[in-house]
Amino acid sequence: MTSTTAPALPIAKLEAMFAANRAAGKKALAPFVTAGDPDADTTVAVLETLDQAGASLCELGVPYSDPIADGAVIQASYTRALGKGFTLAGLFDVAKRASAGCSMPILAMASYSLIFRRGIDRFVEDAVAAGLAGFVVPDLPLEESDDLDAACRKAGLALVRLVTPTTPPERAEAIAKKSTGFLYCVSVAGVTGARTDLPPGLIERVTWLRTKTDVPILVGFGISGPEQVKAVAAVADGVIVGSALVRRVAEAAGTSREQMLADVAAYTRDLAAACG
């Protein structure tokens, strides 16, 4: 009689990463990359570079014509990708190619309208086939999330929720309890974009959220340098860096891919070192 082992659920890769970080006394570095900017092949190369340079996981931004919380840098990257005809099929192709060569988990950051329009079941099936570990859906209200939540739990995908500085405490607690994979703590009210100082009250907010959920807490929005990363990592389980990295890729448009990837690798190593 032969025994068969069930395949690991996609979220298991994320959970294993956080467990390994805890054992090593490290915090997670979670870069954000726009899929398809400047092109699909470059996105795959950037993801592989991030993985090799010490990133713990990566958020793969899905280009969307009407982003909710993204600042000018990420909006511009979405516009460039869409202008070149990047599609959801391209997203899943990039994710599949990158996940095959990366040890870090990759999550898609997507507007709910894209998921709903494609169909929740189909989007989830495509994500699993592409090797994604889950989703971050910034514009999905808690009250309207049951269908996607059920589909993600059935497929073993993480469904990361967000809390902001303006989220009322009772609602923040409810969101924290529903989040799987990790909880995304938005550091500032407003849109994404690199900033120089950490906002007041952030450390206290993360400390409070930690009493409301067992999942890791990652902080994002406005984090761009090693000193900020170090400060956030002192209290949170990880940091999310988006606009500063997207800008680096965009500004390297006139250089060689090799030079851009070398810059991304050096930047990532500096941030990873600040995570412990």
The pLDDT of residue 3: 47
Told to judge if 125 belongs to the known catalytic residues of this protein, a careful annotator would answer no
Told to judge if 227 belongs to the known catalytic residues of this protein, a careful annotator would answer no
Please report whether residue 192 resides in a domain.
no
Q: What is the pLDDT along the chain (276 residues), one digit of tens a residue?
A: 454 556 789 999 999 999 999 999 999 999 999 999 999 999 999 999 999 999 999 999 999 987 665 668 899 999 999 999 999 999 999 999 999 999 999 999 999 999 999 999 999 999 999 999 999 999 999 999 999 999 999 999 999 999 999 999 999 999 999 999 999 999 875 444 444 456 678 889 999 999 999 999 999 987 888 998 998 999 899 999 988 899 989 888 778 889 999 999 999 999 999 998
Name the residue type at position 126. D
Please report whether residue 7 resides in a domain.
no
What would the two tokens of residue 217 be?
């807490």
Q: What is the dihedral of CA 84, 85, 89, 90, to 10 degrees?
A: -10
Please report whether residue 197 resides in a domain.
no
What would the two tokens of residue 111 be?
């507007």
| Active-site residue, from 15, 59, 126, 237 | 59
**Beta-bridge mates of residue 211:** none
Query: Which are the contacts of 206, defined by CB distance < 8 A and separation ≥ 6?
Result: 185, 217, 219, 235, 236
Please report whether residue 191 resides in a domain.
no
The burial of 66, by beta-carbon neighbours within 10 Å (0-12 exposed, 13-18 middle, 19 or more buried), is given as exposed
- Domain extent, residue 75, equals 27-158+222-274
- Rounded to whole angstroms, the Cα distance separating 36 from 162 reads 24
Please report whether residue 119 resides in a domain.
yes
Please report whether residue 2 resides in a domain.
no
Strands (E) located in the chain: 28-34, 58-61, 106-109, 134-136, 158-163, 183-186, 217-220, 238-241
Please report whether residue 70 resides in a domain.
yes
The pLDDT of residue 68: 63
First and final CA of the chain: distance in angstroms? 47
| Active-site residue, from 15, 37, 51, 70 | 70
CATH number at residue 261: 3.20.20.70
Longest dimension (CA), the chain: 62
Please report whether residue 244 resides in a domain.
yes
Omega before residue 38 within 30° of 0, cis: yes
The pLDDT of residue 202: 87
**Beta-bridge mates of residue 134:** 107, 158
The pLDDT of residue 195: 44
Number of domains present in the structure of the chain = 1
The pLDDT of residue 142: 96
Name the one residue in this structure whose structure tokens are 């391209």: 90
